[in-house]
Amino acid sequence: PGRAYAAPDIHGFPNPVVIQDRVIFVTFPSARVYSVDKATGEIHWTCELTGYGSPPRVFGNRIIVSTSKTLFAVDLSTGKIIWRFTPHTEAGEWFYSAPVKVKDSIFISDRKGFCYLLKISSGKLIWKTKVTKGSDVNAAALVAGDRIITTTNEATAVALKCTTGRLLWKSNIPSNATS
């Protein structure tokens, strides 16, 4: 790879994250993850994804990025895909929510109403829980102690137990609520 003193001509929206001496970003239209030297702009590696990528999340030596169909773990040093998780094979876009770290795992939800917890190291599915009748779970989740809390497009908020995925509570959120 040659030296690049500016971001590659990507015609898109990079989402940079600085990790030590590197800048990691995902390009939207070209569906690539880039690792660029922070001081020189030299490209260390690129990794092609299948579909548009979300902003990168870096956990240890793993870059976690999702496309509309697949969650990927990419090796920070080499740019090689370590694992991928695609819960649905039929046509459509499934992931709009951002992946969230829960201890040594990653939580993500989908547009069919499922929530998933996977090991960061291996991509192994720890649990899967259905929280809606089929409506989207697009919101970013919040980890609060032993709970993962998120909202759904069915106008509900839900809390799941981190370790098991058990639904702890589900609360209706009136769309016409006033204070």
Q: Which of 3-12, 22-31, 68-77, 80-89 has the lowest mean pLDDT?
A: 3-12
Residues 72-126: tens digit of each pLDDT: 999 999 999 999 999 988 887 788 888 899 999 999 999 899 999 999 999 999 9
DSSP 20-54: TTEEEEEETTTTEEEEEETTT--EEEEEE-SSPPP
Structure tokens at 95: 């992931």
Q: What pTM, to 2 d.p., does this model score?
A: 0.83
| Mean pLDDT value of segment 30-35 | 83
How far is 96 from 170, CA to CA, in rounded Å?
21
Given a cut of 80, is residue 14 above it in pLDDT?
Answer: no
Q: Among residues of the chain, what percentage have pLDDT more than 90? A: 52
Contact 60, 19 (CB under 8 A): no
